[in-house]
Amino acid sequence: MKKLSLLLVIVTAVVGIITACGTQGKKNRIGTANADVLVVAISADFPPYEYVEKNQYKGIDVEIAEAIGEKLGVEVQVKDMKFSTILGAVASGKVDVGISGISITELRKKQVDFSQAYTTTVQTIIVKEDSVIREASDLFRFGKYRRVGVQTGTTGDLYCTDDIELEGLGRVERYNEGEDAIKALVAGKIDCVVIDQEPAREFVKRNQGLKVLETAYAEEEYSVAIKKGNKRLTKHINQALEQLKNEGTIQKIVDKYINESKEED
C-alpha cells in the first residue's frame, strides 16, 4: 500500500513537471514568454519614435511594434521604462523585446540579440544658435573642455564617454531623458547635446535658440533587441520585419512621422 502511494506521488509529480514544461517551460510557437502577447519595452521620451500623447503611446516604434504583433498574430503590450534599463529587461526576460530607437552596437551584442535593422539614423549635435561649436570636430579640440549632455546609456553617452571624457577633452553630463539634457542646454549648464537626429529635430523645434549641426557624429541602425539565444523569436521578428519592409509598411510608418526632412533637391 505504502509503495503504491509513493508510486502515485512520483507519477503525479512527473506528469506535473511534463505539463508545466509544455505550457511555460518550453517556448511557444513564436518564442515569447506568453503565447498570445508580445511584451515590448519602450522609453517613451523619444519623439517621433516613442512618446506619450493624450495618455497614449505613439510614434514610429510603437506602430512598428503593433505591425509586428499583427504579423505574429499576438497582442502587443507596451512597457514604458527608463532607456538605460531596457537591455537589462530584455536580457532577464522581463520583457520579450525592446523597440525603442535601439542602435546596434558590438558591445550590446554581448548582452542581447538584434533583429535585422528596420531603419537608420545618425547621432547629431544640438547647440545654441550662437555656439562656437560649429561642427562635430569642434567637440574634439584639446583645451576647450566641452560639457556634453546625453541621455544615460544611449550610444551618444557611450561615444562621448569614450571620445571626449576618457580623452580628457571635456565632461559628459548624463540625464534620464533627452529632454532634460535639452533643458540644461537652454539653461547654459552644458555646451551641446548629442542625440539621434529625429528627436534632435523635434527638441529643437520645441525650444527657441537651438540648432542641429549639419555634420553628424556617427551613423547607426535601429533594431529590435531580443533575449540572447532566443532564436525562435528572432526568426519570427525578422520574418515579420521582412514582410513589413517588402510591403512598404515600415516606410509608410516612417513617412507618417518624418516628412519635412525628406527634401527633394
Contacts with ligand ARG by CB under 6 A lie at 43, 45-46, 50, 83, 100-103, 151, 154-155, 196
> Closer to ligand ARG at the Cβ: 43 or 230?
43
Shortest Å distance, C-beta 165 to ligand ARG: 16
Q: Which is nearer to ligand ARG, 99 or 213 (CB)?
A: 99
Nearest distance from C-beta of residue 178 to ligand ARG, angstroms: 6
In angstroms, what is the minimal distance from the CB of 111 to ligand ARG?
Answer: 12
Task: Name the minimum Å distance from CB 189 to ligand ARG.
Answer: 20
Question: Measured from the CB of residue 174, what is the shortest distance to ligand ARG in angstroms?
Answer: 12
User: Measured from the CB atom, is 30 or 182 closer to ligand ARG?
Assistant: 182
To the nearest whole angstrom, how small is the minimum distance from the Cβ of residue 107 to ligand ARG? 11
The minimum distance between CB 17 and ligand ARG, in angstroms, equals: 40
As given in the structure block, the three cell numbers for residue 53 are 500623447
Give me the count of residues in the chain: 265
Which CB, 103 or 234, lies closer to ligand ARG?
103
CB 223, CB 118: distance < 8 Å: yes
Nearer to ligand ARG, 28 or 177 (CB): 177
Cα-flanking dihedrals φ and ψ of residue 171, to 5°? -120, 145
Q: Which is nearer to ligand ARG, 30 or 136 (CB)?
A: 136
Residue with smaller CB distance to ligand ARG, 101 or 170? 101
Torsion of CA 176, 177, 181, 182, to 10 degrees: -160
Q: What does the alpha-carbon distance between residue 257 and residue 49 come to, in Å, rounded to a whole number?
A: 8
**Cell of residue 123, nine digits:** 547621432
| Phi-psi domain of 93 (left: phi exceeds 0; alpha: psi -120 through 50; beta: other) | left
